[in-house]
Chains A and B, each alone.
Chain A
Amino acid sequence: MGFLDLEGVQKVYGQNTVVQNFNLSIARGEFVSFLGPSGCGKTTTLRMIAGFEVPTAGTIRIDGRDVTDLKPNQRNVGMVFQSYALFPNLTAAENVAFGLRVAGQPREAIRKRVEEMLSIIKLPQLGDRYPYQLSGGQQQRVALARALAVSPAVLLLDEPLSALDAKIRVSLRQEIRSLQRELGITTVYVTHDQEEALSMSDRIVVMSEGRMEQVGTPFDIYNYPATRFVASFVGTLNIMDAKIVDPLSGRLAIDGQEVVSTRGMNGVRAGETRPIALRPEAITIDGGGDDRNRMEGTIEEVAFLGAVVRIRVRFGENAVWLDTFNNPGVAPPARGSKATVSFGRSDLLLLEAEAR
């Protein structure tokens, strides 16, 4: 049994099953992300842990205690909202103090704790500011401090970074993660941003339409997606139509060019057409030894993204995006020019027939 346990948790609104059969055991100090598109039930699950929603069925336990039917204010859980949700009539310091104040802690203890929290979030001098005088990033840090000030057993974060600018988003996610490690607090993080989930989590729960699709470490989720949904949702995926030439030796043809896959091809017949998936970062331009697949194509589009140059290569019916690192010494290839690309034999992922 873990520190935070969800057993058979289900939420039904009328005819609509929003979350079904959710089972998860989170260890003390673990950082778990719920990842999925909007409407997949991740926020509802989080809100059931917080106590804002009552599960239709199932049990939620925190540190062995059944909290399923407890009110939010009896759970000792901290939460950070997407919209910050700072109380506009209170200063940053008063916001941080709120939980301690309603708990009736002595004034001096509150002052000390608030000071400590404000310095942890690196805003010690901004305690007297009102929320409207703070930037979005600063507001979210105050919200984090407010949630942590009461030393909650579990910290819940509901898309806390999605209202922020890209730069602040990246720096704040590192900050949240290191703070979480430092405090060793059990954390559930809801996001639709796969990059956030991959970079921050100990484990990720990928969700779709109220179901858990896969639970695993970022490495597993990304490299060994269990379902087609996970494969397409996590990372950018090239999907092509391939004609199976010989299932036994793993040979297949994409727009007439033959390649080899070393991944299993159970139950596939020769001559059949199946979708295959290929990650952009698995493909390189030119280069590659004899053990790699090679294909000839035409450069269709070049998008310069800074550190990465994203290139689209067309083979015929099919085309792929591939990522190369920017090299100041070499200009990106011109559109319309011929190119040879290569990718590893184990990088080709055969998908279910209906996948597309």
Chain B
Amino acid sequence: MSRQAEIAAAVPVMRRERRLSWAWLGVGPFFLFALLFLILPTLDLVIGAFQTPDGSFTLDNLARLNQPTIVSAYLISVQVSIASALLGAAAGFFIAYAVVLGKLPKFLRPFVTTFSGVASQFAGIPLAFAFLATLGPTGLVTAWLDQYLGISLRALGFNILSFWGLTITYLYFQIPLMILILMPALDGLRKEWREAASILGASPWQYWRYVALPVLWPSLLGATILLFANAFGAVATAYALTGSSLNIVPILLYAQIRGDVLHDPHLGYALALGMIVITGLANIGYIWLRQRSERWLK
């Protein structure tokens, strides 16, 4: 090859590389940020969970998780998260279905969308206040039920500071989140699929069983996992609702970090690792289920 030809061949390559490095400049800060403020802090906790205070390897921190308070905290946390995720998914599905496919007046949809946007972000401290004012001991609904229907929530054993109290409160942001995720997914169900199924002799139920639900499955599954993680990591609502009185993991961890309880950071790391493992398992489960059922996805 002549020298000129070599140069000619090299020029586009150089230009290409220079332009690519510019491209990396565009994403570089993002990756650096993600590394510093998302990935490293999380990894560091994981490492901390396997370390003694002086830095040597140990499994002792994890072993210490096996005490009744902590085990029951994990149990209640997982139960509340599963309950609020499943109930939220079901309720969110029905409302999204009603709005998108229920042949209801058109004005309902933007209204439901906006409200869901608000309610899905209306979490944390103010939400707890709202439910205390509603279902708390002196709450409006509590009073109404007692006054007009003679139902005493207290006598029924209901307490806003309990498993069901927390679940009902969490649903206030879980349901709207589900609606927001599912509405586009329901839009994706083509009218022709239903028509094709029905003209092939399928009942509406068979259409849902064999076509619509399998098509929606990835969205439903993904959204439910998201709802689970959402509830599992929620601190503010539970803390403002119950103080430290309800024994769930995020509250336990919060107290641990604040040093309210015996100050033992490495037990804290182990607690955090437990949370990461549980949300991680939920996600692995999601990916596994999805891959098993989604061979038809590109």
Contacts and interface: CB of A to CB of B under 8 A. Distances in A.
* Direct A–B contact in complex, judged by CB atoms less than 8 Å apart: yes
Interface of A: 50-52, 71-73, 75-79, 81, 83, 85, 87-91, 98-99, 101-103, 130-132, 143, 146-147, 150
Interface string B255-281: 000000000000000000000000000
Q: At the interface, is chain B mostly helix, strand, loop or mixed? A: helix
A98 B197 contact: yes
Contacts of A78: 199-200
Given A85-B192, A87-B211, A89-B214, A103 B199 contact: no
B200 A98 contact: yes
B48 to A, nearest CB: 44
A130 B297 CA distance: 9
A146 B199 CA distance: 11
Contacts of B214: 89
Given A75-B199, A77-B199, A87-B210, 8 more contacts: A50-B199, A72-B195, A73-B198, A73-B203, A85-B193, A88-B215, A89-B215, A132-B296
B196 A87 contact: yes
Contacts of B206: 102
A214 to B, nearest CB: 29
A196 B215 CA distance: 34
6 contacts: A73-B199, A81-B192, A87-B197, A89-B211, A98-B210, A99-B200
Given A85-B190, A89-B211, A102-B210, A79 B296 contact: no
A52 B202 CA distance: 14
A143 B192 CA distance: 12
Interface in B209-248: 210-211, 214-215
B200 A146 contact: yes
Contacts of B295: 130
A73 B204 CA distance: 10
Nearest to A149: B200
A153 B12 CA distance: 65
B210 A85 contact: no
Nearest to A131: B296
A72 B198 contact: yes
Nearest to B201: A73
A93 to B, nearest CB: 13
B15 interface: no
B103 interface: no
Interface string B60-103: 00000000000000000000000000000000000000000000
